[in-house]
Each structure stands twice: as structure tokens, then as C-alpha cells.
Structure 1
Amino acid sequence: MEDIEDLVAVGGAPPGFRLPLTAVGVNLKKKKKQSSKLNGSVDSTKLSPSSNNIPGTQTIYVKTFGCSHNQSDSEYMAGQLSAFGYSLTDTPEEADLWLINTCTVKSPSQSAMETLITKGKAAKRPLVVAGCVPQGSRDLKELEGVSIVGVQQIDRVVEVVEETLKGHEVRLLNRKTLPALDLPKVRKNKFIEILPINVGCLGACTYCKTKHARGHLGSYMIDSLVGRVKTVIADGVKEIWLSSEDTGAYGRDIGVNLPMLLKAIVAVLPTDGSTMLRVGMTNPPYILEHLKEIAEVLSHPCVYSFLHVPVQSGSDAILTAMNREYTVGEFRTVVDTLTELVPGMQIATDIICGFPGETDEDFSKTISLIKEYKFAQVHISQFYPRPGTPAARMKKVPSNVVKNRSRELTSIFEAFTPYSGMEGKVERIWITEVATDGIHLVGHTKGYIQVLVVAPDSMLGSSAIVRITSVGRWSVFGEVIETLTQSDAQSSPIKKPSLKGETSPFDSPCGSNSCSREADSCACEGESCGQKVPEEESIASRKDVLLEERSSRYLISWVLKKRRSQVKDRVENGIGLGNVVKQDSRWKGKEWGSVDRALLGGILLSFLTVVAVLVHLGITASARA
């Protein structure tokens, strides 16, 4: 099928309004052979005029693969579909249509996409495929019989879905303008806004397939991005992630640069530190000339002191073969400068093991580099040849050697203890999500170190002062000392707890200078170099306490003892009783758990029953006398 060009006149419809279907440019199925082929991939009963084919009444399943930029695209597509009345579901069996947003970085992610498409066809579900795979490899056999929406056509997903539900195969791939930033959006996490600042990149890495899909650099204007930031802050967003294939290259196509954008965004962030900014993946070549300016922004109290800078190899020879456009020495300059100028700076990086031509000596240089810096976050990936890239034609390193190198480097990396010495420290954290264990909430320090705390869900989207109680390999554990409200943060830089023998590291409205979710995935570099929420580790560290609490939950004495203990602990730590109600939301009667209320109600009922019995016995005894 030929690609469908954008037939809409300049300006088109305003964001959030559907264009006339005559402007979609749909290629209708006219040949019987094509129609029979279509009927093999969709449920014809759902597409017949007599069935429920009213646009906007169906249920859509959205599945996303790959980087944070892809996640943002999915959120935009979901927002538009929801705005037009479509229901969204996480259960594919419940959906009338599947929307699959794909990633072409590595073979496993594309294989997972192909498997899902096969399942969708077997289940006779209409399919719409978006993302980098169809944009960069539009002739894949797996894409036959499905509709396609390109990476710059996400603002027309409603049209594609409507036509696909009618039984038409639609392909929208070619466009020269960027989608608007003010489209409706359904965030996966309502507290986190993933903001794409540009698409494509300036690099030409020999192994990268994403450049084929996302294309050359295209940047959004600073005013548009600042306007979006203001909007999402008003919506209650607490973290803004700047995302792209390479944030460092931002603006070079429109005469501006990354520091200019960062300073403009920082200027509109709330001064109370309630909303934090996280800068996304940045390749070394494009920030070398701006290191001091970037360090200044990363030191700002409302910006996480964290940056994802991929190195990929510790060997200059391999970097040259990759066409990475920098040397190991230049990467060191980036890391050393930011570490020196930014207090508590945390840097994540990526490594590709077994790139074509990598010798034992090359690999040993990579090991030395990782051992020297002991990065807390390293995403280690085996080389995957991507079709159509120069590296795919290079002589490969034997697969068993690649696997062994990957295991060796992983073993070295996992032996690091990056958070040792944090026990007892007091940090400000920003809490935005629930851990995978379902027990802890996830917060991050100024350096984006992941902190797991046991706290009520009502603390999501808030900032708190915590004391670090223990450390693990991937994260640290903390206990909440105080929850900060906006009025708290505005009235004073940080409410310093009265802790004997400790000094607070806070000297700004946004907290400590001391990393999770995931570091920004680099579409060109791998999937994600972020930390995991270690389910086994977090459960093990709290298992005994949680079991004890759950087994004692139904004992009245435990309830009273726990309340007295909480008051005692806070008084001993120098925190007045008057602050306890403020710090612990469980002291608010309206937020007590149902079990607590039932137990206290039972106590009151038992007391009244005893009183009634005693009164009755007294009256009876008097009558007999």
C-alpha cells in the first residue's frame, strides 16, 4: 500500500477537534483479494454496519514499547482517543482495537511487538501500529494488513482508529511539521509529565536504527515548551521530564541551545520546589561547550542533580567504529566537570558489549572506566545488529564472547555499593509513584536517588523530609519525618527537624544536594539505564515488620500501643506533639483505616455495653433489696 500523504490544508483543525473524514485520505479496500485479507485480521462482526460502529464508543488497548519519548507519544494518543469518547483499558481481551506503539532500538523489543501483532491478528482484533518500527521499516511483513500512524502523525490517531474500526487499512507516515504540544493527554502517572523538546538527532551512529524513524533534528520553540510547562504545573504535575533522542542537541536547528531552554523553564517553576525538573539523555558532543551553564542549571534547587550521559565504550577505537563523535577523554571531561560543579551530582551511563571489532583490550578499557567511576546506574546491553544500519554489515564478535563480556561487566557493576554511608542522613524527597512491591511509595532525592518509604497513598505527589534507615544496591529506605505542604516550603526554605547530633544538608527551597524509576531512555542508545524498584530487596527489608503489623492488626492493645509509640518517638526526637498531627496523616480521623475505625468503634461499643449491664445489675439489685 502506498503511504497516505497529509491532505489537510495548512493550519488544519485546531488541536482536539476531529478533521472531516474526507480529509483523512484513506485507501479503501476495493479488490476482493484485499478484502478477504483484511477479514482475516479483524473481526468482521464488529465492523459490520449493524454492529456497534458509532465512532468514540469502542474500547482501546494501548501498549507501549521503548523510551520515554514513546511513552509521551502514547499518552498524547490516549488523550485524544479519550477526549473523543473512546474508553481505554489495560486488558487486551476487553478491547475492540489494539494500538501498539513500537520501539526499534533492539531486537527483543521488536520481537515482542511482532508477537503481540500476531496475537492480535489471531484474536481478530483491528490493529493500529505506531512508533519507530513502522516509521523506519514500513515494509515489514508483520505490518501487512494493519493500519499505521507515524511518529509525527500522532495528532491524527483518532482518524486512523475510526477508519480501522470500519475495516479500512490506513497509513499516515509522511509529514514535515511537529505535532502540537497542547494536545489532550492521559498520563500514565498523573504526577509526571514527559515533555518532548525535540525529535530526531544530529548523530549518525552506525548501529542506530532510530535515526531512520525519528529523522533529523527538529526542535520545538522555547515559548511553546515554556507554555506547556506552565500548563502541566497548573494540572498538578510534580515532575517534568525533558525527553528526546538527544536533549543536548536541542535548538541547534532553530538558533538556540539547551541552556537557554533550561533557564527559561526554571524561571517558571514554582519557587516552593513542589515541581521538579529532570533533564533527559544527553550525548557528550553537544554539551561540551555548555558544561558550566548546564552545571549551573543542575545545581538549581528545583532541578534534579542527575544526568544520563551514554559512553557506550571505554575504547576510542570502538567509539570511532560507532561514529559517536567524541572520545573517552571528552566523556571524562563531561563527568568530571559536572561532578565538580554540581553538589551531589549523579550520572548514569550506557555500555554496549560486543560491538563489531571489539577486542579483549577494548573491553578491558571499558571495565577500567566503569571501575574508576563506579556509576550508580549503568545500562549494559549486548550488541544487536539492526537491519539497514552500517554496523549490521560489520564482522560480528562471536555471540558467546558477547554474552560472557556482558555477564562479566554486569557482575562488576552489581558489586558496587553506591549508597553506602547514607544511613542516618536526612533528605528531602519528592514522592511520585507506588513501588512494584505494592508496599512502598517511591520518592527521589535531589540527586535522583530512589528512596522507598512505607506511607499512605495520600502522600503521592507530595514532598517530605525523610531519614535514611538502610541502603540496598538499587535504592535506599527511609522513614518519613515530616510531610511538606506548599505553605511549609514557601514559609521557609526547609523545615529543619530538631535531630540531636545531625546537621541538615538543606540550604534551598528544593532540598538536599545529595537517583527510580528510570533514567530517560535513549532511543538511540538502548532502552533505559534507570534503576529498578527491587521487589525482592524491598520486601525482604520490611518483611518482619509487615508480618508483625498484619498479625497484630486485630488486637486492640496493638492499636493503642502503636499510637502511644508514635507520640513517644516524635517527642524523643524533639518534634512537638502539636506537629504529630501535621506530620502523620493517619492521625487525621478522616484518614484512619477502616480496621482502625472498626476497632475503636468496637472499644466504644464494648464500653457502653459494660456500662449498660452494670446499670441493669444495679437496678435489679436495688429492686430486690
Structure 2
Amino acid sequence: MRVYVETYGCALNRSDEALMKHVLTERGHSIVADPSSADVVIINTCTVRLDTEQHMLKKITSLRRLVQERNAKLVIAGCLPAAQPYKVLKTAPEASLVSPQNSSRIHVAVESSGKVVMLDGVRERDRIGLFFENRIAPIPIQEGCLSNCSFCITRHARRVLVSHTVEAIVKSVETAVRMGAVEIQLTGMDLGTYGVDLYGKRCLPELVRRISTLQGEFRVRIGMINPEHLPPILDELVEAVNSDRRIYRFLHIPLQSGSDKVLKAMNRKYTVDEYRGLIKEVKRKISDVSIATDIIVGHPSEDEEDFENTLKIIKELEFERVHFAGYSVRPNTLSAGMPNIPTRVRKERMLRMLETVEEMGLKVREKYVGSTLPVFVTEYSNTWVGRLDNYIPVILLGGGLLDYGVSVEAVIEKATFYDLRGRVRGGMG
């Protein structure tokens, strides 16, 4: 059959899409680029925020109308049917539903003559969907979480911690590099928990060391690690990062709030002081490391003092990047039962957060202006883009012909709150 797949959301969803396409083509089906020419339409959904969910439901309605006109089949996959099947069935009662854990069994829904509902079960270990974003290959190493944050709906969609084996991940990295990847992004819901279900211990440092044994000129970015799971592996992870120049000196450690009161309401298992100490230790042990963090603005119980404390710690710790978003009520979460902050207050705080993030982003990057630094070329978008050893992006100007996966020297001429601008001086290999 001719199958159309449309995917939204995170790298885990994109990997699931790649896995579904692989399974279907192995079984003789063809993937088409236009839903109007498909016998089966698959929409692979996200439900992390309310606005995302609303967009998903509109897309489902639109695609449902299309398949009904053509007498085709509609399959709704991903996190929305896993977390909120009732909403999906209300929108498209005749559609088949497939949870993320059943991505490798997508053919059952595609090939069935009737409606199929596959929402139970645990992900098949070591079936890793390999996909590329240009020359960048995000590779999931685990899904699921050992935390229980009050605001999170994703844990309802990807409930069980499932880690892929070190051997399977290393093989995927090796394959991606052989296919031309110059940047490997190790992804998952919380990389600090990697290996607990499989090996009985946290094994991220060991995985990074194993990847370091591979040949090739590529870089590795380590994905998000929740603060409560980093301390047990910190020293080993620091050693792994420091031992190989191909591992970006970069960590993504979400804070979420600068208030102990709000962190408690979020059911986060650390205090602001513990987080501060962790970041300072990381900066002390990894030279010129850059830290990304996440912030939720306007979570229930956040008052003006709580929000000001969040702004203060952003300024104090000088994060290289801050991903922030206004609180979004999600069903079946503990936070949904708490009194909401008025919308106008959240919007006003979002604007102030943006000002602070831009101010600090510029401050962090301005120190590089005037330096000549090695930049590893990873992307092309109208111009070449590369990364410093600590993952800060550099827009490259001049230098003639460049290519993916080469290192160049660049004189940093300008800083913005988001990136650096540099002029290429010459090749380094």
C-alpha cells in the first residue's frame, strides 16, 4: 500500500517515524509524500502543550476529511492517543490508534481490514529509528522517566523506562557516521536514567566512552539530564567529556524554577541551592562548559517573588541557553488541579523572561568576540554554520569552499543573544 506519514514533536517522535517507515518498506509498502495519493495516512502526534494538542486535533480533523473522501485509512500514532485516547476517538472514532511503544508494530494497523487499537505494551528494545536532520543524527538511547513531575503529560504517553543496549546504540552511531552524520545527538526523556532498567545502574558515562572508541570526524551532543539524576554519574561523565574533544562540552540540565516553593509544587526532587551547587561543580570541572536549562513561567503557586528569584538565578549562573515556556495546563496531571496564574500575569512574566534571556545570552557570548577559535562545521542554511567545542553556534562568513565535518579557524567578529558570527581564516583539517 501507499502510506503517508506526518510527524510532529520531539526527536523521539522523529525516530519513531523513521522506525515506522523502515518496518513498512521492509514489508513491501511504499512511502508517499502526498496524503492525497495514499491508501493509509499516519499522523504521528505530540501532546506536550495545550496549543500543540489543539493543533494536532485540527490536523486530525483535516486528514480525516481527506481519507473519508478517498475511502483511505487513518492511523493516529504518537503521544496524543497514548496519553488522551478519548480525545482522539471523539475527533476520529473510526481511526486506528498506535502508541509510541508500538511503533515497530505499525504494520498491524496499516494492514488490518478494520480499526486497530494498540495502546498497551512496552517498547521493543534495540529497535532504533535512525533519521537525519541534514547531517545531524539524533539517536534515542532511552525513553520513559523515573521522575514524577506534576506538570508533565509525556510520562503518560511514554510511561516505562526502556534503555537500548550500549551495543545497539554504538552500532547506530557507527551507521550514522558511515552515512555522513557529522553530529550525533544522544536523546531521550532523561539521559541521567539511562541503563537503570537494563543494567541496574546509570550507564551514560560508559556509553559516551564506548562512542569515543569509534573512528571518524564527528561530534557528540549529550541530551537532557534531570538534576536529581546527574550527581551519581557526574564525576564519570566529566571524565568522559574531558577525555575526547569530539564530545561537546555542553550539558542540558533543566532548572524549571528558581523558587523552592514552586519546585516542590512541581514535584522536582532538588532545591535551588542544590541545583546551584551542581552547576558550579560542573563549571569547575569542565573548562568553558556551556549549560542549557529549561524554565516554566507561571506554574501554579508562582508569585512575583518566586518569579524574580528565577530571573536572579538565570543571571547568576549565566546559562548559555534558556528554553522557556509559559505553563500549559495538561489533563491527568497534578498541576492541573492547582489554582492557575492569570493569563495576563503569565504573559507579562514571559516578556520579562525574554528580556533577561536575551540580556544574558548576549553577555555569555560577547566574551568570545575578538578571539580566534576552532569551529566544527555541521550545517548549511544560506551560509555555513559550525559549533565551538562547547556547542555555541557560529555563523561562518568568508573562507571560500567549506564542507560538512571540517574544522576551521574563525575570528569571532560579533555576538548576538543566540549565536556568534565569525570570519573563516583557514582550514585545520
| Structure 1 length-normalised TM | 0.63
Q: How does 1:377-396 map onto structure 2 within 5 Å?
A: 377-396=321-340
Partner of 1:169 in structure 2? 115
Larger Rg: 1
What secondary structure does 1:154 align onto?
A: helix
Partner of 1:75 in structure 2? 18
1:409 to 1:325, Cα distance in 2 relative to 1, 3 A? same
Partner of 1:257 in structure 2? 202
Following the alignment from structure 1 to structure 2, what is the Cα–Cα distance between the partners of residues 263 and 358? Answer: 38
Q: How does 1:306-317 map onto structure 2 within 5 Å?
A: 306-317=250-261
1:206 to 1:175, Cα distance in 2 relative to 1, 3 A? same
Following the alignment from structure 2 to structure 1, what is the Cα–Cα distance between the partners of residues 22 and 377? Answer: 24
Partner of 1:548 in structure 2? none
Following the alignment from structure 2 to structure 1, what is the Cα–Cα distance between the partners of residues 401 and 121? Answer: 43
Following the alignment from structure 1 to structure 2, what is the Cα–Cα distance between the partners of residues 314 and 473? Answer: 21
Following the alignment from structure 1 to structure 2, what is the Cα–Cα distance between the partners of residues 225 and 208? Answer: 27
| Residue 202 of structure 1 pairs with residue 146 of structure 2 | yes
Structure with the larger strand share: 2
Partner of 2:81 in structure 1? 134
Query: CA offsets, 1:193-248, max 9 Å, x none?
Result: 22211110000111111111101322222222223223323333221111111001
Deviation of 1:467 after TM superposition, in Å, equals 2.6
Tell which deviates more after alignment, 352-361 or 259-268.
259-268
Following the alignment from structure 2 to structure 1, what is the Cα–Cα distance between the partners of residues 24 and 413? Answer: 45
Partner of 2:306 in structure 1? 362
What secondary structure does 1:253 align onto?
A: helix
Deviation of 1:285 after TM superposition, in Å, equals 0.4
1:110 to 1:253, Cα distance in 2 relative to 1, 3 A? same
Partner of 1:235 in structure 2? 179
| Residue 352 of structure 1 pairs with residue 296 of structure 2 | yes
- Answer whether contact 1:155 1:179 (CA < 8 A) is retained: no
- Answer whether contact 2:126 2:164 (CA < 8 A) is retained: no
Following the alignment from structure 1 to structure 2, what is the Cα–Cα distance between the partners of residues 85 and 380? Answer: 41
Deviation of 1:59 after TM superposition, in Å, equals 4.9
Deviation of 1:65 after TM superposition, in Å, equals 2.0
What secondary structure does 2:181 align onto?
A: coil
- Answer whether contact 2:186 2:221 (CA < 8 A) is retained: yes
Following the alignment from structure 2 to structure 1, what is the Cα–Cα distance between the partners of residues 380 and 249? Answer: 22
Ranges in structure 1 where 5+ consecutive residues have no aligned partner: 1-54, 489-625
Q: Look up the equivalent residue of 1:145 and give its one-letter code.
A: E
Q: Look up the equivalent residue of 1:382 and give its one-letter code.
A: G
| Residue 453 of structure 1 pairs with residue 396 of structure 2 | yes
| Residue 420 of structure 1 pairs with residue 336 of structure 2 | no
What secondary structure does 2:233 align onto?
A: helix
Following the alignment from structure 2 to structure 1, what is the Cα–Cα distance between the partners of residues 116 and 13? Answer: 21
Partner of 2:47 in structure 1? 104
Partner of 2:249 in structure 1? 305
Tell which deviates more after alignment, 375-384 or 280-289.
375-384
Following the alignment from structure 2 to structure 1, what is the Cα–Cα distance between the partners of residues 9 and 401? Answer: 28
- Answer whether contact 1:199 1:214 (CA < 8 A) is retained: yes
| Residue 154 of structure 1 pairs with residue 103 of structure 2 | yes
Deviation of 1:373 after TM superposition, in Å, equals 2.0
Query: CA offsets, 1:481-519, max 9 Å, x none?
Result: 3345xxx4xxxxxxxxxxxxxxxxxxxxxxxxxxxxxxx
Q: How does 1:388-537 map onto structure 2 within 5 Å?
A: 388-416=332-360, 417=362, 418-435=364-381, 439-454=382-397, 459-484=403-428, 488=429
1:402 to 1:190, Cα distance in 2 relative to 1, 3 A? closer
Identity across matched positions, percent? 32
Following the alignment from structure 1 to structure 2, what is the Cα–Cα distance between the partners of residues 452 and 92? Answer: 36
- Answer whether contact 1:427 1:466 (CA < 8 A) is retained: yes
1:189 to 1:259, Cα distance in 2 relative to 1, 3 A? closer
- Answer whether contact 1:120 1:126 (CA < 8 A) is retained: no
- Answer whether contact 1:441 1:457 (CA < 8 A) is retained: no
- Answer whether contact 2:182 2:404 (CA < 8 A) is retained: no
* Number of matched pairs: 417
Following the alignment from structure 2 to structure 1, what is the Cα–Cα distance between the partners of residues 278 and 37? Answer: 49
Following the alignment from structure 2 to structure 1, what is the Cα–Cα distance between the partners of residues 19 and 206? Answer: 22
What secondary structure does 1:338 align onto?
A: helix
What secondary structure does 1:129 align onto?
A: strand
Following the alignment from structure 1 to structure 2, what is the Cα–Cα distance between the partners of residues 277 and 259? Answer: 13
- Answer whether contact 1:374 1:413 (CA < 8 A) is retained: no
Following the alignment from structure 2 to structure 1, what is the Cα–Cα distance between the partners of residues 186 and 95? Answer: 32
| Residue 326 of structure 1 pairs with residue 273 of structure 2 | no
1:458 to 1:288, Cα distance in 2 relative to 1, 3 A? same
1:471 to 1:253, Cα distance in 2 relative to 1, 3 A? same
Query: CA offsets, 1:513-572, max 9 Å, x none?
Result: xxxxxxxxxxxxxxxxxxxxxxxxxxxxxxxxxxxxxxxxxxxxxxxxxxxxxxxxxxxx
Q: In the alignment, which of 40, 56, 61 is matched to residue 113 of structure 1?
A: 56
Following the alignment from structure 1 to structure 2, what is the Cα–Cα distance between the partners of residues 426 and 88? Answer: 47
1:303 to 1:118, Cα distance in 2 relative to 1, 3 A? same
1:339 to 1:464, Cα distance in 2 relative to 1, 3 A? same
Deviation of 1:134 after TM superposition, in Å, equals 0.7
- Answer whether contact 2:194 2:204 (CA < 8 A) is retained: no
What secondary structure does 1:415 align onto?
A: helix
Deviation of 1:407 after TM superposition, in Å, equals 1.3
Deviation of 1:259 after TM superposition, in Å, equals 4.0
- Answer whether contact 2:132 2:138 (CA < 8 A) is retained: no
Partner of 1:296 in structure 2? 239
| Structure 2 length-normalised TM | 0.90
Partner of 2:214 in structure 1? 269
Partner of 1:564 in structure 2? none
Partner of 1:246 in structure 2? 190
Following the alignment from structure 1 to structure 2, what is the Cα–Cα distance between the partners of residues 179 and 463? Answer: 36
Q: In the alignment, which of 207, 212, 224 is matched to residue 281 of structure 1?
A: 224
Tell which deviates more after alignment, 281-290 or 232-241.
232-241
Following the alignment from structure 1 to structure 2, what is the Cα–Cα distance between the partners of residues 376 and 253? Answer: 32
Ranges in structure 2 where 5+ consecutive residues have no aligned partner: none
What secondary structure does 2:408 align onto?
A: strand
